[in-house]
Amino acid sequence: MSKLAIEIHNLAVYYGQTPALTNVCLEVAEGDYLGIIGPNGGGKSTLLKAILGLVPVAEGSVRIYGQSPSHSRALIGYVPQFAAMDKNFPITLFEVVLTGRLRKRLTPFFRYSSQDKDITYELLARVGLADLANRQIAELSGGEFQKMLLARALALNPKILLLDEPTANVDAVSRDQIFSLLAELNKDMTIILVTHDLLAISSEVHRLACLNGKLVYHGEPEINEDIVNSLYGCPVDLIAHGVPHRVLREHKEHDQHFGPISYQGNIEHIKHNELQSYSSECGYREEKAE
C-alpha cells in the first residue's frame, strides 16, 4: 500500500462560533489525484487552509507525512483562489513566480540567487509563459494568470500540490492545458484540486470527495445525481454529450461514504468534460453551461 501523504481525522474548523468544517476524515495516498467538489461556502478553501496550517484546528488532527502542517510548509505548493489576488498590483509575471522561491519572509538586503532566477525561467517555460515574463500581471488573461500561480506553486518543487478553483476565469483551451499539465505533474506529486464547478474537475482525477461542511462522499470519481443533489442542496441537472467518460452507477456496498445519502438514483452515462450542471432554483448556475 502506498504511503499516506495527508491524514485528516475528525477535523473541525470554526470561524468564531460558526463551524466551517465538522468531523472531516480524509486520507490521501502519495501520488493520488483527488478532486473535491462542493457548493460555495462548503468549506473547500478552509480544508486546504487546514492542510496548509493557515487556520486553527478546533478538533481532530491534520498530518502531512506524519508531521503537523506547520512543519510541512516546504512540502506543499498552493494555488490560491484567483478572486483572492490583487490583479492590479504593479509586479511582473516573472517577479510573482520568483517570490515562490522564498523560503522565509523577505529580510533587508535579501537578493535572489541566479539559481532562483534560472528555476523561475524554467517554470515559466513549463507552463508556457516564457514569452510573457516581463508583462505586468494586470495585463494577463485569466488563463495566463492561473498558469502563473501554478508556476509559483511549483517553485520549491513540492511533493503535494493544492489548487483552489484553478480553472475559474479561464477559457476552455487554457483549462485543458492546465489539466494536461496537472496530469503530467501528478507523475511526481500528490494533487488536491477543489472547485464548486462540476465542469472544472479534470477527468484525470483518481478519486472524488464531496464537501459541504462535512464530507458527504469520498471514493471513486463517479458520482450520481443523488450525491450531487444532496451536496448542493437542490436539484442539479447532469447532462451528457458525446463519448461517455464517466458512468453514473448504483452505489455498491463497499464504496466509502459519509452521511445519510441515498445512492439509488438513476444510472446514466455522462461525459465528464462536457458535463453541464445547473439549477436556477438555488442560484447555482454555471457560466459554462450555456
Residues of this chain that bind ligand ADP (CB under 6 A) = 15, 20, 38, 40-46
- Containing H/E element for 149? helix 142-153
Q: Which is nearer to ligand ADP, 59 or 176 (CB)?
A: 59
Question: Which residue lies nearer to ligand ADP by CB, 44 or 175?
Answer: 44
CB of 24 to ligand ADP, least distance (A): 12
Radius of gyration from C-alpha coordinates of the chain: 19
Closest approach of ligand ADP to the CB of residue 270, in Å: 23
Please name which of 184, 166, 127, 172 lies closest in space to residue 287, comparing C-alpha atoms: 172
Whether residue 44 contacts residue 164, with contact meaning beta carbons closer than 8 Å, is answered with yes
Least distance from ligand ADP to the Cβ atom of residue 49, Å:
7
Beta bridge partners of 207: 34
- The half-sphere exposure of 167 on its side-chain side, counting CA atoms within 13 A, is 27
* DSSP letter string, 170-208: --HHHHHHHHHHHHHHTTTSEEEEEES-GGGS-TT-SEE
C-beta of 17 vs 107, nearer to ligand ADP: 17
CB of 31 to ligand ADP, least distance (A): 25
Grid cell 476524515 in the structure block, residue: 25
Smaller CB separation from ligand ADP, 20 or 160: 20
Nearer to ligand ADP, 20 or 198 (CB): 20
Minimum CB–partner distance for residue 80 and ligand ADP (Å): 11
- Give whichever of 28 and 50 is closer to ligand ADP, judged by the CB atom: 50
CB 122, min distance to ligand ADP, A: 31
List the one residue out of 145, 138, 150, 142 whose CA is nearest residue 79. Answer: 150
Question: Taking the C-alpha atoms of 46, 51, 53 and 59 in order, what is their torsion angle to the nearest 10 degrees?
Answer: 70
Could you tell me the smallest distance in angstroms from the CB atom of residue 193 to ligand ADP? 12
Q: Which is nearer to ligand ADP, 112 or 258 (CB)?
A: 258
Residue 26: left (phi > 0), alpha (psi -120 to 50), or beta? Answer: beta
